[in-house]
Amino acid sequence: MQTEDIARYLAGHPEFFDQHPHLLTDLRLTHPFDDRTVSIAERQILNLREKHNLLEFKLAELIKFGEENDAISEKMHRLTLVLMSVRDSATLLQALTLNLHEDFGIPHVALRVWQREGEGIEYAAVSEAVKNWATDHTAPLCGTLAMEEMNDWFSTPGHLRSYVCIPLRGDQAIGVLVLASEDPQRFYPQMGTLYLQRLGELLAATLLRV
């Protein structure tokens, strides 16, 4: 008899251990975590305990993610209120930078807009390559710079190690927002971009308004 035959027999005869209850304690199985042996009943308890611990871990992980999302949602709400209160482009970059720094802990922010003229640094000229990138992309790029020239938008580019490039769009591309950090793990390619996408949409709507 092959082991597969035994497995099929037991699967097809669930009453087997009811008829031979002593086997539940007499048969010995290897303990999953050390070299000693345990009964079938004990092994089942260990399996159930392991599954319980795994479920507890997953539940704690879900609760943690939920709390983190709630915190980010609250911060996005505050940022929305701040941008709604902005009445001119002269104060927009200052308000945006302050909020991102204090609420989100983002140390470096650079904004470039080319749909209209202005006197602030955010209206400084950019290359056609940057404009084309913003036109061709709708989602944020995390981890690296989309264009090397974006590095020049920061006052201390040599210390920066990770970035997020967010195209700003209305009916067409109107600008780019770049977030940067000295921490190489702060922004990475696999990170979620839902709130970054919403940040770009919110900022683009504000720019078009003011």
Distance CA 105, CA 7 (A): 57
Q: Does the pLDDT of residue 140 top 90, yes or no?
A: yes
- Looking at residue 167, what is its pLDDT? 96
DSSP codes of every residue in 70-133: HHHHHHHHHHHHHHHH--SHHHHHHHHHHHHHHHH---EEEEEE-SS--SSGGG----HHHHHH
How does pLDDT run across 12-63, given as a tens digit for each residue? 888 887 787 777 676 766 766 666 776 777 777 777 888 888 899 889 888 9
Which residues sit opposite 141 in a β-bridge? 165
**Unique residue bearing structure tokens 């140390």:** 107
CB atoms within 10 A of CB 168: 25
**pLDDT value at 114 more than 80:** yes
Residue 86: CB partners within 8 Å, gap ≥ 6?
92, 95, 206, 210
Rounded-to-integer distance, Cα 80 and Cα 7, Å: 61
Listed in order, the ranges of the chain carrying CATH 3.30.450.40 are 88-209
88-209: CATH architecture: 2-Layer Sandwich (3.30)
Q: What pLDDT digit, counting tens, does each position of 160-206 carry?
A: 999 999 999 988 999 999 999 999 999 999 999 999 999 999 999 99
Task: Please indicate whether residue 71 or residue 1 has the higher confidence score (pLDDT).
Answer: 71
In angstroms, the CA 20 to CA 1 distance is 20
Q: Distance between CA atoms of 150 and 157, rounded to whole angstroms?
A: 9
The pLDDT of residue 87 is 86
Question: pLDDT by residue (tens digit) across 68-108?
Answer: 888 888 999 999 999 898 888 778 888 999 999 999 999 99
CA angle 178, 166, 208 (to 5 degrees): 100
Q: Who's near 97: CB < 8 A, 6+ residues apart?
A: 109
The SS3 of residue 50 is helix
* Ranges 4-13, 66-75, 136-145, most confident: 136-145
Q: Has residue 149 got a pLDDT over 80?
A: yes
Q: How far apart are alpha carbons 98 and 190 in whole angstroms?
A: 27
